[in-house]
Amino acid sequence: MKRVAIIGAGCSGLAAIKSCLEDGFEPVCFERDDDIGGLWRYSTTSKVGNGSVYKTCVINTSKEMMSFSDFPPPQEFPMFMPHRFVLKYFRMYAESFGLIKYINFKTSVENIIPATDYGLSGQWRVTYISGDGESKTEVFDGVLVCTGHHTYPHIPEFEGLETFTGKYIHSHGYKENVEFTGKRVLVVDGTFLEIDAIIFATGFDYKLSFIPESVTRIQNNRTELYKYMFPPHLKNPTIAVIGLVQSIGSVMPISEMQCRWFMKVMKGECELPSEEIMMEDIQAKREAMEKTYVKSKRHTLQCFWVEYMDELADMIGVKPDLWKLFFEDPKLAIRCIFGPCVPAQYRLMGPGSWNGAKSTIKGSVQRCLFPTRTKLLPKNATGKENQSLYSFSIPRHLHPYFIILFIVFIFFHLCIV
């Protein structure tokens, strides 16, 4: 059985472990911390090289669009989940598929280099320091780098910063607002103000310090990776970077799709084009990006979620055939065409198809609406509503009157304006 090294046990690393198991590979995951979750594991302190979220962080993608394709989120979870719910979802995912036992915690990868016979075997030598401080080297048939790109804060250089007497931090180190209470704080955006503190919301530097630059070729935050994954100049496509993409949408399903594609390439079921064609694709994406976004270190990995997911799914053979689906299940086809493009659509057919995909798609709206409903108050011993709790719900028979009042209010407001 071929062995695949996975660096990182965040959302991308967990998806990588599961994808390995699905396709018959042995995953060996290395995680420098003592728990899973990566960026979404909240801590009161931050460390360069690790992801970081602040105390009140809430994910800005709905739970349906950020979920893994074969693991729908619980309906009682908030539509937009605070970090503790995101981490809880990852734990449920890891426990459900038995992923934890493949993770080596408190293990730091020092370097990854091609094996001496890489030209023939495509293997890689991975050197790491285990939890007991011992340095070890192992050979793997494949490598998936799942360390993310929100780990090395970028602090811009400009005149006067060295003489500024106030406090300045990067958003990477921001945890809560207590230390800034009563202060005039500048979030750098080019304006001139007298301020007491500065928070740099200036993005991150993309670094893979444990891999030779000759492999990754990252310069000024610009990568040279085919489909944001494969170094095109390597003879063997046995190493890939997962999740190093800034999509207009959630990265979790993208990371999962990238892992699924990597496994098919490793098994020989999918082939990469020539280096020339891959470089043309990379250049085309760069040119499209330059036409869409301002030129900066921040805008080097952008992609459109549905477009990119369809692109990868098409190469794997899991992109939904909507015409075929329309004749098999018209209602489901209509949901796929006019409803949200939930990740479960990529489990309807092809390799890795899942029997629960249809029900997951059909239940997506219900799972989104469920947490917005008025919660039922507990009953007391007599079976009556507990009057010690105040109900904010409006009795159903009063709903029409409130709707009429709302319409009248809007009408008069528009007339006044």
For 150-182, the pLDDT digits (tens) are 777 787 777 777 777 777 787 888 888 887 888
Mean pLDDT lowest among 152-161, 259-268, 300-309: 152-161
Mean pLDDT for 337-359 is 95
Mean pLDDT for 403-413 is 81
pLDDT at 131 over 70: yes
State CA 154 to chain mean position distance: 20
Mean pLDDT for 65-71 is 97
Mean pLDDT lowest among 49-63, 163-177, 344-358: 163-177
Mean pLDDT lowest among 174-178, 247-251, 412-416: 412-416
What rounded mean pLDDT belongs to the chain?
Answer: 88
What span, in angstroms and rounded, lies between the C-alpha atoms of 14 and 41? 14
Which conformational region is residue 352 in: left (phi greater than 0), alpha (psi within -120 to 50 degrees), or beta?
Answer: left
pLDDT tens by residue, 273-288: 999 999 999 999 989 8
pLDDT tens by residue, 213-236: 888 887 777 889 999 999 999 999
pLDDT at 110 over 80: yes
Distance set, CA 372 to CA 79, 80, 81, 98 (Å): 8, 11, 13, 32
pLDDT at 388 over 50: no
Distance set, CA 6 to CA 1, 39, 221, 336, 368 (Å): 16, 16, 22, 33, 33
**What pLDDT was estimated at residue 396?**
65
In order, the DSSP letters of 238-258 are -EEE-S--EEES-HHHHHHHH
pLDDT at 391 over 50: no
pLDDT at 44 over 90: no
**Short-list 329, 344, 295, 1, CA closest to 142:** 1
In order, the DSSP letters of 319-372 are S--HHHHHHH-HHHHHHHHHS---GGGGGSSSTT--TTHHHHHHTHHHHHHGGG
Give the residue with greater pLDDT, 15 vs 224.
15
**What pLDDT was estimated at residue 352?**
95
What span, in angstroms and rounded, lies between the C-alpha atoms of 358 and 182? 53
| CA dihedral of residues 195, 198, 203, 206 (deg, nearest 10) | 140
Angle among Cα 104, 108, 110 to the nearest 5 degrees reads 130
**What pLDDT was estimated at residue 393?**
53
Residue 123 has φ and ψ, to the nearest 5°, of -85, 165
Query: pLDDT band at 21, cuts 50/70/90?
Result: very high
Q: 188-197, 372-381, 405-414 — which one is most confidently predicted on average?
A: 405-414
SS3 call for 234: coil
Extended beta strands in 32-141, E state:
103-104, 108-114, 124-129, 135-140
Tell me the pTM. Answer: 0.85
**Short-list 96, 99, 102, CA closest to 74:** 96
Query: pLDDT band at 384, cuts 50/70/90?
Result: low
In this structure, are residues 8 and 38 in contact, taking their beta carbons and an 8 Å threshold? yes
**Short-list 83, 103, 85, CA closest to 16:** 103
Distance set, CA 58 to CA 72, 87, 88, 189 (Å): 19, 12, 13, 23
- What b-and-e string marks burial along 76-113, b requiring 16 or more CB atoms within 10 Å of the CB? ebebebbbebbbbbbeebbeebebbebbbbebbbeebb
SS3 call for 135: strand
- Residue 240, token pair as written in the block: 């890939």
Which conformational region is residue 220 in: left (phi greater than 0), alpha (psi within -120 to 50 degrees), or beta?
Answer: left
**What pLDDT was estimated at residue 389?**
43
What span, in angstroms and rounded, lies between the C-alpha atoms of 87 and 165? 38
The DSSP secondary-structure symbol of 396 reads G
**What pLDDT was estimated at residue 392?**
46
